[in-house]
Chain A
């Protein structure tokens, strides 16, 4: 309405990138990379998600207020995951005191 219409070519490029990344993530999962399997899979998923949010959901051309809300949503999700993991991952890092039965 207030924006210029995006060309089909741009959308087709994003679509091709998403399909290519899907093939990449399946291919990488067949390699023995230890913990890097998880890191690679999540990195690719984050890139794909970011492409969908920026281009298909058109957040890159949305108002600053919408961008702030979107950012706040993912920030709150990060709070949830980081605080939960900071508890579970750090358990057992310190020895229990002797009086702890």
Chain B
């Protein structure tokens, strides 16, 4: 009876027994990560939807606020995030090739660029605080007729960039974990799934900013 059973396939330590092979395991991880990212698209989508409705309701008031957005810092931060996505993709590439030192180097670069982004974001938030553009009792607006409507825009600004910054902080924690794992020789050319999955997360956070930047900083800039 036992002789009719197929021989159990030899499984490496990385390949969990419920998967046929490494490719299938990778496929499942990728799909699972994308399902998580879809919930993130819906999460940010709700805020983008709210922004669209209010922008449509009060176009003049929203246009007037764009003069108080720091386009220079916003543009530099866009560049910084794109650079960090580039270093992240190079880290994944190094992982595919099994180059341990390169993985660590590119992950550290990505982490540094992420911290630069958060630092510049902090400078911007400080500017808003000094200018009394933080929604709440101390809110003041230069154009008195738009004071209430502008407050809605700044509320959306802090909600959307704040949630984005939260995702960056989480991403920085995940990158730190990856660096420690890489230093402990956990990855090889046969198994580097966490590097690839956290790469997907990092690029997603980059895409959110790619849409936040024009919507919050650029539109209405000329009017």
Residues in chain A within 8 A of chain B (CB atoms) = 1-2, 5-6, 8, 11-12, 15, 18-19, 22, 25-26, 29-33, 37-38, 41-42, 44-45, 48-49, 52-53, 55-57, 62-63, 65-66, 69-70, 72-74, 76-77, 80-81, 84-85, 88-89
Q: Does B97 contact A (CB under 8 A)?
A: yes
Q: Does B73 contact A (CB under 8 A)?
A: no
Instruction: For the complex of A and B, list the 4 residue pairs with the smallest distance between their C-beta atoms, beginning with the closest.
Output: A41-B214, A29-B218, A73-B38, A15-B86
Q: Are A62 and B30 in contact (CB under 8 A)?
A: yes
Contacts of B86 in A (CB 8 A): 11-12, 15, 56
- Contact residues of A: prevailing secondary structure: helix
Contacts of A48 in B (CB 8 A): 207, 210
- Extra A-B contacts (4), CB below 8 Å, given A11-B89, A11-B90, A77-B42: A26-B71, A29-B218, A30-B221, A45-B210
Q: Are B42 and A76 in contact (CB under 8 A)?
A: yes
Q: Report B189-212 residues with CB < 8 Å from chain A CB.
A: 190, 199-200, 203-204, 206-207, 210-211
Q: Are B53 and A2 in contact (CB under 8 A)?
A: no
Report the interface size for chain B: residues with CB under 8 A from the other chain: 51
Contacts of A77 in B (CB 8 A): 41-42, 45
Closest Cβ neighbor of A2 among chain B residues? B23
Contacts of A76 in B (CB 8 A): 38, 41-42, 45
In the docked arrangement, what's the CA distance between A63 and B32, Å?
13
Q: Are B49 and A81 in contact (CB under 8 A)?
A: yes
Nearest Cβ on chain A to B180's Cβ, whole angstroms: 23
Residues in chain B within 8 A of chain A (CB atoms) = 22-23, 26-27, 30-31, 34-35, 37-38, 41-42, 45-46, 48-49, 52-53, 56-57, 71, 75, 78-79, 82-83, 85-86, 88-90, 93, 96-97, 190, 199-200, 203-204, 206-207, 210-211, 213-215, 218-222
Q: Are A5 and B219 in contact (CB under 8 A)?
A: no
Q: Are A84 and B93 in contact (CB under 8 A)?
A: no
Nearest Cβ on chain A to B79's Cβ, whole angstroms: 6
Contacts of A45 in B (CB 8 A): 210-211, 213-214
Q: Are B89 and A30 in contact (CB under 8 A)?
A: no
Choose among B52, B83, B222 the residue that contacts A81 (Cβ–Cβ < 8 A): B52
Q: Are B214 and A42 in contact (CB under 8 A)?
A: yes
In the docked arrangement, what's the CA distance between A29 and B37, Å?
30
- In the complex, 5 of the A-B residue pairs with CB atoms within 8 angstroms, ordered by the A residue number, are A48-B207, A66-B27, A69-B35, A72-B38, A77-B41
Contacts of A8 in B (CB 8 A): 90, 93
Nearest Cβ on chain B to A46's Cβ, whole angstroms: 9
